[in-house]
């Protein structure tokens, strides 16, 4: 058995990752850590300016690829373009998504479908295309960015929680189906992570911030790099026997509910 050495257990040199929603937030945090571990990254998103800025910050092993995963018919061409930019994909990070905070009785069918369209249909179409290529090469890793809302009940996020819960079934099924072909499939479930989005959500609501921190045993918010280093682990040789799992990165919040 070829065991990774201490020096290369987390080394991603020669690996190529496609990260949806990689220009900002958690996607950029994961990209930053993957690049630091030696990987090349292709950042996919709809906002070209943010993608260009992210790639400038990450350096020469980062590539911008404007694209929309909800345009399902264009997914094969998107993957072709990514592999032309950076070579065969060895890692896919399904991170693109939209958030909707609205009481269930006020959530329309169109709004519900729009959230699932990005998180579920878009991610599945992309995963199916990338996974087919990974299985042909008999190697690869897929990561889904899930959420603590897939484990605990939270009000006013019914569409988002449904989409993230769908990830759990999808990744476990794919891990079982694709494992014999050398493809590992896992998920990361972030808790409350410091970001511009969280700042906006908590602006002017100190009581909510206090409540969140009280429910988090580590009594602080996480940082994007906390998610990024978890992605590095799951993509690395150190996790070569890890598949079908969802790793909460939440300061212990899920287990404290």
List C-alpha distances in Å: 35 to 11, 151, 194, 237. Answer: 10, 30, 21, 16
162-172 core/surface letters (b: 16 or more CB in 10 A; e: else):
bbbbbbbebbb
Kindly report the three-state secondary structure assignment for every residue of the chain.
CCCCCCCCCCCCCCCEEEEECCCCHHHHHHHHHHHHCCCEEEEEECCHHHHHHHHHHHCCCEEEEECCCCCHHHHHHHHHHHHHHHCCCCEEEECCCCCCCECHHHCCHHHHHHHHHHHHHHHHHHHHHHHHHHHHHCCEEEEEECCHHHCCCCCCEHHHHHHHHHHHHHHHHHHHHHHHHCEEEEEEEECCECCHHHHHHHCCCHHHHHHHHHCCCCCCCECHHHHHHHHHHHHCHHHCCCCCCEEEECCCHHHHC
- Among 160, 167, 178, 192, the active-site one is 160
Who contacts 106 (Cβ-Cβ below 8 Å, separation ≥6)? none
Known active-site residue 160: yes
Check if the beta carbon of residue 192 is closer than 8 Å to that of residue 221: yes
Q: Known catalytic residues?
A: 160
């Amino acid at each position: 058995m070829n065991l990774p050495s201490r020096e290369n257990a987390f080394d991603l040199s020669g690996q190529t990752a496609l990260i949806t929603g990689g220009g900002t937030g958690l996607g950029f945090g994961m990209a930053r850590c993957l690049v630091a571990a030696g990987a090349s990254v292709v950042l996919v998103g709809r906002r070209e300016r943010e993608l260009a800025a992210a790639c400038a910050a990450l350096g020469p092993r980062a590539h911008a690829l404007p694209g929309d995963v909800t345009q399902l018919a264009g997914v094969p061409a998107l993957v072709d373009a990514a592999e032309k930019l950076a070579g065969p994909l060895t890692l896919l990070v399904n991170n693109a998504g939209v958030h909707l905070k609205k009481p269930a009785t006020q959530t329309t069918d169109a709004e519900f479908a729009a959230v699932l369209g990005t998180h579920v249909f878009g991610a599945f179409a992309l995963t199916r295309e990338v996974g087919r290529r990974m299985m042909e090469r008999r190697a690869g890793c897929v990561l889904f960015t899930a959420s603590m809302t897939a484990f605990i009940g939270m009000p006013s996020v019914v569409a988002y929680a449904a989409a993230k819960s769908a990830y759990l079934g999808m990744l476990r099924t794919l891990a079982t189906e694709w494992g014999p072909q050398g493809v590992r499939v896992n998920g990361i479930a972030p808790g409350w992570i410091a970001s511009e989005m969280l700042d906006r959500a908590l602006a002017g609501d100190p009581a909510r911030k206090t409540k969140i921190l009280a429910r988090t045993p580590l009594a602080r918010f996480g940082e994007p790099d906390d998610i990024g280093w978890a992605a590095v682990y799951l993509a690395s040789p150190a996790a070569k026997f890890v598949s079908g799992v969802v790793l909460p990165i939440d300061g212990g919040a899920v287990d404290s509910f």
